[in-house]
Each structure stands twice: as structure tokens, then as C-alpha cells.
């Protein structure tokens, strides 16, 4: 029962580009035929592509003045790309990394903070202002899993290189590129890097903000954002997949199936689209077709930490606490950065009478969470445990 519910239930999987993945290049003709405007309200205040990297005049003036001051006061000649790498450095306080809402370059500059995608856009915008070239890179890191409401979200990663811009009257002794990464622990050299163009990065942005809107039920806004993203890069599979998920939420199963097939035509081994398509087939009782896809998905499923987490939750609520501990531990083995896994371990240990391990795992959950509500909840639980 649990396995079937997990594969065929109400939880849809789709990629959220905290920063992230690319599709195989393929030309798609007449992408407009896959849009169904009659089912959605038009949203007026969506960010236009040309505004994603836009900086207001005050910001541009501040940046250029800071650049002139810093380079003039330096005893050694500082190249523009070297200055920018130092200026934008999130790790040392230039701008704060916050893994939550995706912002435009202008919004990120104003807030002095943003997630990975937001900071990449801001860096590119500043680079353009001071004459620095950029190269965007998709980093093929292992996926980082998250869960919000009825959605599994997979965070990939993107960073960028800064290069001095060559001009006719300037000769550089060295054109050494500087890699800028806002999650340095994931910018390991052993990971493969794929150079991506600006259109792909803009499509990533729109998929991010569309996912954020979808999670909170703003379907019309999500639809408008996805249209803008797909206009930038029609073969961008994560956006096609997210749009198909949105169609399912609107009850447009036939339209969703067309999009899943389109996404799989572009990238046949895209597990996110394949998984979602399998859910649709299962919900319609098309079990023979579902079984064929399920064979492929079974091999991929074992890498999903939430598979083990859902099994642990089921065991816990069935009061099978030893089984719950086993499943929670497996979830932690797959994703030791998820606070809710340690919270689950804590509850299960408490239920078995192991108070020491229960407190230890509650402390770990508290240290990992960035959500204020979870933090308050874990603090209260930990206080109650210590007072027991």
C-alpha cells in the first residue's frame, strides 16, 4: 500500500532550480500550441526578461563609485573581475546567501541577500556594468532534495566564471578566470561543469519563481512565469515538466500528458518527467503503461531520500518504532542535511525510551532548520525533553 501510494499518490516531483540542470539541445517548433490561456487568468505584474538583470540608476552609481574608490586606493592594480569576485563574496559578508525566495538582480542588490540563482543574476548584472565577461556553468552535483507541501523539489546548482573583458587598447598578461560560487562546499572541482547560455539561466529563473508560486497555490502566476521561461528556451525540460504538473493541478490531464511526452522526447531519460508521467498513468488506471515506466523508476527511486522518509513516517504512525528508526536512518544516509529526518529520528528514539539519542537528534534538527516555525517547534520539543 505504501509503495503504491508513494508512486501514484498526490505528490508530484519536479525540478526546482535553486540553481540547476540543462536539457539536451533540440529545436521545438510552435511551442505556443502547448499553452492553454483559456484556463488561466492573465497576470499583469510578471517580471520581463529584460528586467531580470536590470539595476536601478542608484545601484549602478553606487557600484561604479565603490569600484573606482577600491581600485584607486589599491597599491596593486586590481582587475575588474578580481574586484567583483571580492565585492560579491557572500561567504565574507558582501551579500548574504539565503536559500529561500528567488529575486531579480535589482531586488537582490536592494536586500543584500538572495539564493543561489538570485546572486548569480546580480553578479552578472554588476559584471556588465564594470566591463567583465561572464560564463554561466551548470554544476552536475548530486541532487539536493526538499519537500514543500505536496511537492518534492530537487535543487541543482549553477555558478559562474568572471573573465576580464578584452578590448582593442588593453592587453592582459593573464586572462585567468575567477569562479564565483555561492555554495562553495558544492563547487568541488571533481564535479562536471557544463557551460550554459544566458537564455538557459533566464529559463532557470522563471522555473524557480514559477515553482515558488505553484507551491503556494498561485497557479495563474505560475502559468505566466512558465510561459516567459519557455519563451527563453523552448526545449528547457524542467519548465516543460513544471508546466505539466501545473496542468494536472488544474485538471487538464490530457494537456499534461502531451507535455510529459514532449519533455521525454527532448530528454528521454529525464527521471522527473518520467516519474510524473507514471503518476498520471497510474491515476488513470493505465497500469500496463505505468508498469513499463515503473521498471525504470524503481532503479532511480532508491536515490530519493523521501522514499525512506515516507516509509519511516508510515511505520512511526503505525507505532512500529524500530522499523521507523531503520527507515529514518536510511533517509539520513541519503540526505544528512534535512532537519525533518532528524526530527523523525528524535521522535522514534523518544518512543523507544532512548532519551539521550532523542535529545541529540532534536538538537541536530534544530541546528539544520532555517524555517522559523520549525525552529520554534524544535526548541519547544527540546525544552520539554530536558525538563522530563
What are the pLDDT digits (tens) for 303-341? 778 878 888 998 998 899 999 999 999 999 988 999 999
Q: State whether 180 and 327 are in the same domain.
A: no
Any domain includes 23: no
Q: State whether 196 and 311 are in the same domain.
A: no
Least confident interval from 173-182, 247-256, 335-344: 173-182
Give the helix ranges, DSSP H, for the chain: 2-8, 57-73, 80-87, 105-111, 116-130, 198-215, 219-232, 237-249, 253-266, 271-283, 287-301, 305-317, 321-334, 339-351, 355-368, 372-387
Closest CA to 132 of 85, 201, 181, 171: 85
pLDDT (0 to 100) of residue 115 = 85
Q: State whether 57 and 194 are in the same domain.
A: yes
Decide: pTM greater than 0.85: no
CA 88 to CA 182: how far, in whole Å? 9
Any domain includes 315: yes
Question: Could you read off the pLDDT of 186-229 as tens digits, one per residue?
Answer: 444 556 678 999 999 999 999 999 999 998 999 999 999 999 99
CA 87 to CA 67: how far, in whole Å? 9
Least confident interval from 36-40, 90-94, 249-253: 90-94
| Count of domains for the chain | 2
Q: State whether 325 and 200 are in the same domain.
A: no
Q: State whether 337 and 194 are in the same domain.
A: no
- CATH code, domain carrying 356: 1.25.40.10
Q: State whether 190 and 333 are in the same domain.
A: no
Q: Which of 146, 180, 209 is the last residue of a domain?
A: 209
Q: State whether 195 and 63 are in the same domain.
A: yes
Which residue range(s) make up the domain with 69? 49-209
Any domain includes 204: yes
Any domain includes 159: yes
Any domain includes 90: yes
Q: Under a CB-based contact definition with an 8 Å cutoff, are residues 251 and 273 in contact?
A: no
Any domain includes 244: no
- CATH code, domain carrying 138: 3.10.620
pLDDT (0 to 100) of residue 378 = 95
**pLDDT category of residue 179 using cuts at 50, 70 and 90:** confident
In the predicted structure, residue 274 carries a pLDDT above the cut 70 = yes
pLDDT (0 to 100) of residue 173 = 47
Q: State whether 189 and 333 are in the same domain.
A: no
User: For residue 83, how many other CB atoms are within 10 A of its CB?
Assistant: 19
Q: Which of 209, 225, 242 is the last residue of a domain?
A: 209
Any domain includes 168: yes
Q: Which of 174, 209, 244 is the last residue of a domain?
A: 209
Per-residue DSSP letter, 23:
-
Any domain includes 37: no
Amino acid at each position: 500500500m505504501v509503495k503504491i501510494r508513494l508512486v501514484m499518490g498526490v505528490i508530484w516531483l519536479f525540478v526546482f532550480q535553486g540553481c540547476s540542470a540543462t536539457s539536451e539541445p533540440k529545436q521545438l517548433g510552435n511551442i505556443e500550441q502547448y499553452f492553454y490561456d483559456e484556463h488561466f487568468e492573465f497576470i499583469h505584474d510578471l517580471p520581463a526578461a529584460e528586467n531580470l538583470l536590470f539595476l536601478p540608476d542608484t545601484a549602478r552609481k553606487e557600484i561604479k563609485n565603490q569600484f573606482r574608490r577600491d581600485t584607486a586606493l589599491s597599491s596593486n592594480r586590481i582587475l575588474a573581475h578580481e574586484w567583483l569576485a571580492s565585492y560579491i563574496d557572500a561567504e565574507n559578508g558582501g551579500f548574504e546567501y539565503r536559500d529561500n525566495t528567488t529575486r531579480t538582480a535589482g531586488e537582490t542588490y536592494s536586500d543584500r541577500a538572495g539564493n543561489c540563482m538570485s546572486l548569480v543574476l546580480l553578479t552578472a548584472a554588476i559584471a556588465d556594468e564594470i566591463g567583465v565577461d561572464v560564463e554561466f556553468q551548470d554544476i552536475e552535483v548530486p541532487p539536493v532534495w526538499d519537500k514543500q507541501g505536496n511537492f518534492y523539489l530537487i535543487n541543482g546548482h549553477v555558478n559562474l566564471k568572471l573573465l576580464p573583458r578584452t578590448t582593442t587598447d588593453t592587453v592582459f598578461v593573464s586572462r585567468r578566470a575567477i569562479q564565483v560560487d555561492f555554495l562553495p562546499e558544492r563547487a568541488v572541482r571533481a564535479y562536471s561543469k557544463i557551460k550554459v547560455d544566458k537564455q538557459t539561466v533566464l529559463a532557470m529563473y522563471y522555473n524557480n519563481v514559477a515553482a515558488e508560486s505553484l507551491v503556494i497555490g498561485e497557479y495563474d502566476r505560475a502559468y505566466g512565469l512558465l510561459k516567459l521561461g519557455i519563451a527563453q528556451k523552448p526545449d528547457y525540460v524542467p519548465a516543460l515538466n513544471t508546466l505539466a504538473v501545473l496542468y494536472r493541478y488544474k485538471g487538464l490531464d490530457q494537456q499534461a500528458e502531451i507535455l510529459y511526452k514532449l519533455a521525454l522526447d527532448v530528454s528521454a531519460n529525464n527521471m522527473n518527467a518520467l516519474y510524473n508521467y507514471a503518476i498520471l498513468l497510474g491515476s488513470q488506471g493505465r497500469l500496463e503503461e505505468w508498469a513499463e515506466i515503473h521498471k525504470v523508476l524503481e532503479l532511480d527511486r532508491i536515490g530519493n531520500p523521501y522514499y525512506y522518509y515516507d516509509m519511516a513516517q508510515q511505520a512511526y504512525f503505525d507505532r512500529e518504532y524500530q522499523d521507523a528508526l531503520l527507515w529514518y536512518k536510511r533517509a539520513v544516509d541519503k540526505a544528512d542535511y534535512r532537519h525533518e529526518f532528524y526530527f523523525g529520528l528524535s521522535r522514534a528514539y523518544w518512543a523507544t525510551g532512548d532519551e539521550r539519542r532523542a535529545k541529540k537528534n532534536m538538537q541536530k534538527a534544530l541546528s539544520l532548520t532555517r524555517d522559523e516555525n520549525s525552529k520554534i517547534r524544535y526548541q519547544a520539543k527540546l525544552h520539554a525533553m530536558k525538563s522530563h
